[in-house]
Structure 1
Amino acid sequence: MSEKICVGAIAGAFGVQGEVRLKSFCSEPRDIASYGALTSEDGKRSFTVKLTRPVTGGLGARLSGVATREQAEALKGVTLWAPREALPSLPDDEFYHADLIGLDVFDTGGAPLGRVRAIFDHGAGDILEVVGKEQLLLPFTKAAVPTVDLTAGRIIADPPDSDE
């Protein structure tokens, strides 16, 4: 499991005083400001986040060390990462996406299907992209994915029949 989790991204500048527009990846968007200092993916930059107001497409925020619109614009696209220990623990049937990516996937008979490459959410629930001999898109439901074993690093899947 990774030591950092991506909790958001800077979508651009907002206003002229160095405020940024944040896109939060947290289930409760405002939680992004409660995890302490957030870092860039490479860990070279660190920001404390103070939310200011809701804005179109995200949240308005002030970041430490960002005082001008130009500084805010320069950060567009930067992802924000929190240390895993700052995040809440999850119930047994919930997972951080970062923990699922890279897991090996097997069918219920033990045959390998591939590895989780990405997770998509288009509004109707999470979809696992599994890449092996074929690309497979699996709904992340109990019926299609009955077992996730983070300790063993694997998922057992029962993919729906493709001829239905």
Structure 2
Amino acid sequence: MTDNTRICLGAIAGAFGVHGELRLKSFTATPEDIAAYGPLETEDGARSFEITLSGQSAKGGLIARLSGVTTKEQADALRGVRLYTERDRLPALPDEEYYHADLIGLEVYDTGGTLLGRVKAVLNHGAGDILELHGQGLTSTVLLPFTRQAVPTVDLAAGRIVADPPEGLF
């Protein structure tokens, strides 16, 4: 398990209008839930914001107000800023569901016990989650489908994943 105690829940995409509203990209399963976690902090923890949602943008993001942001210039200055919360403020998940942040950094072994690599990122381009693996002996990153068939075991307590990758992937 990673030792990250803070989880990124969203990112500011830029100003929306001239009164301090902004476009917000939510990384929560239900985008509107981002406002339910209480104050969110910048990555360095220097600033904290309460979020009030006011709609959705045409680009699919949320329109929001952040406490203390009242002008277009203030909203523009926050473009690209990621918003974080403490890991322990996230709800517990049902069995066999995982937060991406908990998977990043785990070692991945094949069913015979051979180390394949380490999870560098969890990607999703619309067809399901994919684990991006890197490690010694790999000439480039390997993309492993995060399905029950390809990844039969995730053991967060032991910090490892057992994979049965499709033929020819490694």
Q: What is the TM-score with the length of structure 1 in the denominator?
A: 0.96
Q: TM-score, normalised on structure 2? A: 0.93
Equivalent position of 2:129 in the other structure: 126
1:37 aligns with 2:43: no
2:104 to 91, 101, 105: 101
Q: Deviations over 1:26-58 (max 9, x none)?
A: 110000000000001111110000001111230
- 1-side partners of 2:88 and 2:67: how far apart? 22
Q: Which residue of 2 aligns with 1:54?
A: 56
Which residue pairs with 1:24 in the alignment?
A: 26
Equivalent residue in structure 2 for 1:66, among 62, 66, 69: 69
Instruction: Give yes or no for the alignment of 1:91 onto 2:94.
Output: yes
How far did residue 85 of structure 1 move?
2.2
Cα distance in 2 between the residues matched to 1:95 and 1:44: 29
Which residue does 2:10 correspond to in 1? Answer: 8
Counterpart position of 1:115: 118
Q: Does 1:149 align with 2:155?
A: yes
Q: Secondary structure at the match of 1:42?
A: coil
Unpaired runs of at least 5, structure 2 = none
Q: 1:139 aligns with which of 128, 139, 145?
A: 145
- Structure 1 unaligned spans of 5+: none
Q: Judge conservation of contact 1:36–1:86 (CA < 8 Å) in 2.
A: no
Aligned counterparts of 2:153 and 2:105: Cα–Cα separation in 1 = 15
**Percent of paired sites with the same residue:** 63
Tell me if the contact between 1:8 and 1:81 (Cα under 8 Å) persists in the aligned partners: yes
